[in-house]
Amino acid sequence: MRLPKDLISQIENSARAQDMAPAEIIRTALTDALMKGAASIPTRLTQRVAITRAFDLADGWLDLQTQLRALGFVLRHDPDGKLSLNEWPSNQHLCKLEEIGQSQTELTTRYRAPFPGLQPEAAHMPVFRSKRTSGMSSAA
């Protein structure tokens, strides 16, 4: 394993201060870091399940936003008109809606409306024209 010189120096200093072998310092640091990472997996999995449940149970955009905010998340528009999942209240972008298995088009159809603030075209919602108004001319 190759390590930067300044990191090796920190390991040696820590080993001297704690009267331990440098290898033991490295093992302890790696174990601690891996345990923290492993502990965060259940948290992320729990959050993912809760987010999916919010999408499954919501009966409209407002209900969905309310449920997501209770979990610490919120939906926001991206500059390209797509939706993303953000942290609430910081509004920090986390991921695009599609990355968590949700479809903006399917939600628009399910809720019978585009996400608030989006025009139908931006929300990928088809615009239907009546046969009466398209292509018919009045005879005078």
- Give the tens place of pLDDT for each residue, 71-90: 999 999 988 889 999 999 99
For the question of whether the overall pTM of this predicted structure is more than 0.95, the answer is no
pLDDT for residue 90 = 94
> What contacts 83, CB < 8 A, 6 or more positions away?
75, 76, 77, 96, 97, 104, 115
The model's pLDDT over 11-42, given as tens digits with 9 standing for 90+, comes to: 999 889 989 899 988 888 877 777 776 666 67
- For the beta carbon of residue 123, count every other beta carbon within 10 angstroms: 20
Q: Which band of pLDDT confidence, cut at 50, 70 and 90, is reported for residue 61?
A: very high
Tell me which residue has tokens 């399917």. 106
pLDDT for residue 122 = 47
Q: What average pLDDT does the segment 101-115 reach?
A: 95
Could you tell me which residue, 84 or 139, shows the higher pLDDT? 84
Parse the chain into domains and list their residue ranges: 1-56, 58-127
d(CA 50, CA 24): 40
- Are the C-beta atoms of residues 77 and 83 closer than 8 Å to each other? yes
* Tokens, residue 111: 């809720």
Q: pLDDT at residue 121 above 60? A: no
Q: Which band of pLDDT confidence, cut at 50, 70 and 90, is reported for residue 95?
A: very high
Could you tell me which residue, 129 or 77, shows the higher pLDDT? 77
Helix/strand/coil (H, E, C) string of the chain? Answer: CCCCHHHHHHHHHHHHHHCCCHHHHHHHHHHHHHHHHHHHHHHHHHHHHHHHHHHHHCCCHHHHHHHHHHHCEEEEECCCCCEEEEECCCCCEEEEHHHHCCCHHHHHHHHCCCCCCCCCCCCCCCCCCCCCCCCCCCCC
